[in-house]
């Protein structure tokens, strides 16, 4: 693609751990280099941009101005809001995260929330939510695409961006704003241990004989039957592994408010 065809992207970090960016960096088809040199023009991303301090803040302002109405805004992290917004201030002018997200969303062609924190509040918003952390969709009035998961796989992040680049439209979403192509089926529907579940072969305790044989993890707390995500197919770290393959049940990380609603993660 020509340089001018590349779609500008502004990627903001709010209250988060950067695990979602770490996941994105693992993309292999296309690679991150191809993504940001052939398809996207990454205008601002705190982890992988060269600029810092005043320069970084100027770059952000300029990108919002020059690419007004054309850029994709991606946000990682929840947003401390209202009178608690001062829990997150960024840059030499100490703007609140909330004010930056609102301003950036105003000029965006599309807004993508990346990860559990940005989509539904994540661990910051778990009870008692001491910083009044909110999902991006509660901060702005525009439609938000929610790429759920803690973190989402690189496939789910990049696949959603590529859908927008290739078709110029947002992908079909479910009732929680998640792209249906990635979050349309339950983890349990595609799990490689599903045959064990159907046969009634369950791990009873971590480390038991069933665990060594790769039995189903339902009895030790797997939330795969209640969780919508394609981890069993796409996996993580360049398709290397995923929670159940590694021997632990799904904790429901792509479901809204899973920290409060899905615990305990290990049973009995």
Minimum distance of ligand SF4 from residue 133's CB (angstroms): 10
Number of residues assigned to the chain: 268
> What whole-number distance in Å separates Cα of residue 133 and Cα of residue 84?
8
Region 33-62 residues binding ligand F3S, contact defined as CB under 6 A: none
Alpha-carbon distance of 150 to 238, in angstroms, equals 16
> Which CA distances in Å does 181 have to 126, 131, 155, 209, 262?
28, 33, 11, 36, 24
Identify which of 113, 152, 151, 157 has the alpha carbon closest to the alpha carbon of residue 135. 113
Pick 19 or 184: Cβ nearer ligand SF4:
19
* Under rule CB under 6 A, residue 150 binds ligand SF4: yes
Q: Could you tell me which stretch among 41-49, 51-59, 66-74, 113-121 binds ligand SF4 (CB under 6 A)?
A: 113-121
Closer by beta carbon to ligand F3S, 21 or else 254: 254
Give yes or no for a contact between 122 and 150, defined as CB atoms under 8 angstroms apart.
yes
183 near ligand F3S, judged by CB under 6 A: no
Q: Which stretches of 77-236 are assigned E, i.e. beta strand?
A: 79-80, 89-90, 95-96, 108-114, 133-134, 144-147
Q: How far is it, in rounded angstroms, from Cα 222 to Cα 16? A: 25
- Of 147 and 250, which has the nearer Cβ to ligand F3S? 250
Taking CB under 6 A as the criterion, which residues in 211-230 touch ligand F3S?
A: 227, 229
Is position 256 an interface residue for ligand SF4 (rule: CB under 6 A)?
no
Query: Is residue 16 close enough to count as binding ligand SF4 by CB under 6 A?
Result: yes
8 binds ligand SF4 (CB under 6 A): no
User: Residues 185-224 vs ligand SF4: string with x where CB under 6 A?
Assistant: --xx--x-xx--x------------------xxx---x-x
Q: Which residues contact ligand F3S (rule: CB under 6 A)?
A: 149, 187, 227, 229, 231, 242-243, 250-254
């Amino acid at each position: 693609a020509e340089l001018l065809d590349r779609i500008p992207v502004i990627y903001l970090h709010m209250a988060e751990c950067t695990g979602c960016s770490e996941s994105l960096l693992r993309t292999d088809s296309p690679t991150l280099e191809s993504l940001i040199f052939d398809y996207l023009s990454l205008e601002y991303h705190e982890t992988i941009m060269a600029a810092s301090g005043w320069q970084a803040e100027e770059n952000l302002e300029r990108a919002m101005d020059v690419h007004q109405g054309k850029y994709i805004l991606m946000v990682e992290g929840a947003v401390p809001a209202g009178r608690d917004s001062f829990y997150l201030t960024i840059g030499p002018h100490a703007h609140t995260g909330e004010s930056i997200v609102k301003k950036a969303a105003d000029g965006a062609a599309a807004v993508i929330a990346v990860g559990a924190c940005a989509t539904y509040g994540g661990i910051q918003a778990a009870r008692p939510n001491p910083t009044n952390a909110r999902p991006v969709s509660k901060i702005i009035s525009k439609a938000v695409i929610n790429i759920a998961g803690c973190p989402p796989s690189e496939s789910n992040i990049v696949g959603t961006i590529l859908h927008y680049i290739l078709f110029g439209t947002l992908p079909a979403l479910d009732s929680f704003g998640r792209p249906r192509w990635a979050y349309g089926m339950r983890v349990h529907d595609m799990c490689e241990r599903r045959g064990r579940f159907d046969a009634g072969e369950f791990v009873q305790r971590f480390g038991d004989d069933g665990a060594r044989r790769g039995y189903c993890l339902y009895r030790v707390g797997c939330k795969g039957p209640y969780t919508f995500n394609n981890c069993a197919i796409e996996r993580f770290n360049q398709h290397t592994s995923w929670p159940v393959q590694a021997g632990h049940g799904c904790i429901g990380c792509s479901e809204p408010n899973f920290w409060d609603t899905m615990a305990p993660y290990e049973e009995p």
